[in-house]
Chains A and B, each alone.
Chain A
Amino acid sequence: MSTGPKARIVAGIFKYAAELQRLQNCPQGCVPASGVVYRLVHDPFDKYYDFSPSALWKPEYVDKCAGWGLSLYTTEAAARKRRESIRKAARKYPHISKEIGDCIARATLVPTHGQMTLPNSEKHFTLFEFVGTDLSSAFKIVVRSDQ
Chain B
Amino acid sequence: MTSASKGMLMSPIAWLTYDRCLEFLDGERLVLLRNRAGEPFLKIWTDVVDDVTRWWYVRTTEVELNHFLFCRLSLKQVILSARDGFVYVVDIRRNGDLQNVTLEATTALPKESLPSDDSLFDSDLGFEAPRDEHTVLIDGRWQAADLSKLEKRLTDVVSFLAPFGTDVMHHKGQQETLFLKDAFTSYRYRGGWVQKLTFDRLSRVVPAEKQVELDKLFYASPGIVKFRMDPVYEGRVRLALKAFEARRLEARAAYHALHETLLALGRAEDSAERSSESVKAEIADLRSTLPALSNRLAIVLGGIDLARVQSTANDEENTGQLLAAYFRRLEELYDLEADCKRDELVDNRENALAIPELLDDDPGDP
Contacts and interface: CB of A to CB of B under 8 A. Distances in A.
B112 interface: yes
Contacts of A100: 25-26
A89 B29 contact: yes
B25 A59 contact: no
Given A56-B94, A59-B94, A89-B122, A95 B47 contact: yes
A98 interface: yes
Given A59-B95, A92-B75, A54 B26 contact: yes
Interface stretch (B99-107, B113-121, B251-259): B113-121
B221 interface: no
Interface string A89-104: 1011111101110000
Contacts of B124: 85
B48 A92 contact: no
Contact of A86 (B25, B47, B95): B25
A58 B27 contact: yes
B167 interface: no
Interface string B26-46: 111110000000000000111
A85 B126 CA distance: 13
B51 A57 contact: yes
B115 A93 contact: yes
A146 interface: no
Given A61-B27, A89-B23, A92-B75, A98 B48 contact: yes
Contact of A94 (B25, B94, B95, B115): B115
Which of A54, A85, A86 has the most chain B CB atoms inside 10 A of its CB? A85
A71 interface: yes
Nearest to A62: B96
A14 B115 CA distance: 39
Nearest to A61: B27
Interface string A55-77: 01111110000000001000000
B27 A54 contact: yes
Contact of A85 (B25, B28, B47, B51): B25
Contacts of B113: 94-95
Nearest to B97: A59
B183 interface: no
Contacts of B27: 54, 58, 60-61, 99
A47 interface: no
A55 to B, nearest CB: 10
Given A57-B51, A59-B96, A89-B23, A94 B29 contact: no
A88 interface: yes
Interface string B1-45: 000000000000000000000010111111000000000000011
A89 B96 contact: no
20 contacts: A54-B27, A56-B94, A58-B26, A58-B27, A60-B28, A85-B124, A88-B122, A91-B120, A92-B44, A93-B44, A93-B45, A94-B112, A94-B115, A96-B25, A96-B29, A98-B48, A99-B27, A99-B48, A100-B25, A100-B26
Interface of A: 54, 56-61, 71, 85-86, 88-89, 91-96, 98-100
Given A91-B120, A92-B44, A93-B44, 6 more contacts: A54-B26, A85-B125, A89-B29, A92-B23, A93-B25, A95-B46
Closest 9 CB pairs of A and B: A92-B119, A58-B27, A95-B47, A59-B96, A91-B116, A92-B115, A91-B119, A92-B75, A57-B94
